[in-house]
Amino acid sequence: MNANLTKYGTFLKFEVTHSWLTSLYTRMKFSQRKATTSRPPVSSGAYEETKLRYHFALQKVVDEYDIPEELIITLDQTPTKFFNLSNSTMSKRGESRTAVAHCGDKRTITATLAVTLSGDILPYQLIYKGTTKRCLPSADLLPAGFLLSYNKTHWSNTEETLNILNNVIKPYVDQKKKSLGKPDSQKVVVIWDDFSAHNAPRVLSLLSMLGICTVDIPKNLTHLLSPLDLTVNKKLKDFEREACASYVSRSLADHIQHNPEVGDFKLDIRLSVLKPLHAKTLTASYEFFKTVEGKKLIASGWRASGLTEAVRRCKEDGIDSRMLIDPFAALRI
């Protein structure tokens, strides 16, 4: 190692700056390339009408049952990758294709996140792909209360929906009603997407038994109207990408230390290696969302969806009686 430092020590003092990188990429004729996604186009008029109906549906429930912010919950499934490499890289200008090693890694699990209008984050539900408990990470790598399950597809379904309602939503609601001094009969509202499992007979029966009212996020508009999609899910992906980059950097540094000539470098992306690292990343994201900064991020998602203001108006001014007949009366007030 000392020999290596003698050989390469001159360069260890060099600091890579943004301006230096910009100059280097310009001279190499490289430009940033990024994958794109498409979403269904929505006209401004249709969007405003749909958003108004959505807000009014929540306002009616909150007004009728006097639901506090702590019991206004939104829930959403999001795929989370074991190896989430950034889809951006540097490539020569004019190149029609840009290849990134391991960028096509499809191994994922489904994480179901739930947050409240008051800024609380509930324990995650994590659904792994497998047929036995051997597919799950060690429970001591994850916070207490996390709900771990598995199935052949790792997708949410009716059973998984019942699972999270019984083992995540209900414990939180019971504890919060007690701390707020609310009766057991106090209603709760859950805001989620129009997923088929959410309307399954057994799910509807359980919702009724638990005193949970639901409001559906309009189809094809979750990216604009879901508080989780607007901020929280993106931050979770940021944690994954940062952890992935850190793992690649550590692995490469270790390889160089033991192989000074570098040569071929093969990254170990076996699930037995990635699964514990991924569990620690999920834990780090959860702990972040419980901090002051994390709560602010959760709150910003509610504000961006318009639901914070909709609930505030409902609680301060009530619901205009004209809107019970015509929700669009608000546009003419």
Asked whether residue 139 carries a pLDDT value surpassing 60, the answer given is yes
Quick check: 102 and 81 in contact, CB under 8 A?
Answer: no
Predicted pLDDT of residue 99? 41
* pLDDT for res 320: 65
Pairing mode, if any, of strands 147-151 and 125-129? parallel
- pLDDT 10s digits, 274-293: 999 999 999 999 999 999 99
pLDDT score recorded for residue 257: 79
- Measure the CA–CA gap between 95 and 91, rounded to whole angstroms: 7
Percent of the chain with pLDDT over 70: 80
Bridge partner list, 169: none
Under DSSP, the state recorded for 104 is T
Binned at pLDDT 50, 70 and 90, residue 25 comes out as confident
User: What is the per-residue pLDDT for 14?
Assistant: 56
The larger pLDDT score, comparing residue 85 to residue 303, is at: 303
Domains of the chain with CATH codes: 47-86+102-332 (3.30.420.10)
